[in-house]
Amino acid sequence: MAGDGGSSRRARRVDFGTTMLFGAVYAGALFLVVTGFAVEPSGCGGALPAFVFG
């Protein structure tokens, strides 16, 4: 009975860590996409139109 509280706490900590990991990966990917659009030298829409149209 005493172990139930500890395992629940540990499961919550693992869930939080997993959520933070996925959040960090998502934020990193979003940062790369945004900076890729921002530093496009042509200045006309970023990397996506150049990739799609050209």
For position 45, what pLDDT does the model report?
Answer: 54
Any alpha helices (H) in 1-54, and if so which ranges?
2-38, 47-53
Tell me if 47 is assigned to some domain: yes
CA 14 to chain centre: 18
Tell me if 5 is assigned to some domain: no
For position 44, what pLDDT does the model report?
Answer: 54
For position 32, what pLDDT does the model report?
Answer: 87
Please give the chain's pLDDT, 54 residues, in tens.
Answer: 455 556 788 888 889 989 999 999 999 999 988 887 665 555 555 555 555 555
Asked whether the beta carbons of 22 and 15 are under 8 A apart, the reply is no
Total structural domains within the chain: 1
Q: C-alpha dihedral over 33, 39, 41, 44, to 10 degrees?
A: 60
Asked whether the beta carbons of 42 and 50 are under 8 A apart, the reply is yes
Tell me if 35 is assigned to some domain: yes
For position 19, what pLDDT does the model report?
Answer: 93
For position 1, what pLDDT does the model report?
Answer: 47
What is the value of pTM for the model shown?
0.50
| Range(s) of the domain holding residue 33 | 23-54
